[in-house]
Amino acid sequence: MNKNVIHQDYEVSLESRQKLNGHRSFLVWLTGLSGSGKSTLADKAEAYFHNKGKHTFTLDGDNTRKRLNADLGFSKEDREENLRRVAETANLMVDAGMLTFAAFISPLNQNRETVKKIVGADNYLEIYVKASVETCEKRDVKGLYKKARKGEIKDFTGISAPYEEPENPDLVVDSEKEPEDDCLKKIIELIEDRLPL
């Protein structure tokens, strides 16, 4: 860090923001293969809590790559930088007192550990949205698996690049075997246990 950059403290604290909002703020990180249902579940969970009057926001891989990370490609280094920027953005949102959702493949345990380190273990819930490559490929809502199989997308997670299942997630929802509503219910229950001040 540049020694000319000095941390500035402000009168309004995280605790005061949380008190004003009436709930704790933290990051709910959904990881899983493309097509596993991460973004859908994050969207539905956010809508549920938003409709309950909670202060929420969702970060999504496609949306951040169109804006915040539009300058990044898909090399290993760019993917790591993509997740680092997202984690820093999520950290600001948590500090602003928001219940923050993030839906990112984040294929390696090391990636997720970096996110956890940036936001802090107390502010991080990890949810593994589990589904096999075969199921995700059948869904292929974006046509990405088809392109990856043709060689049009290099280093595609699950096809030509690895996905490491989380070692100790706070929750596993199996979107291949469980109905979407059941997965959502489990996510909501996990968050509701942690939300009160």
Is 106 one of the catalytic residues? yes
What type of residue sits at position 49?
A: F
Residue 96 phi/psi, 5° resolution?
-80, -5
Kindly state the tokens that stand for 153: 């997308």
Angle at 144 between CA 138 and CA 150, to 5 degrees: 95
**Active site residue: 25, 36, 106, 175, which one?**
106
In angstroms, the CA 187 to CA 58 distance is 14
Catalytic amino acids?
Answer: 106
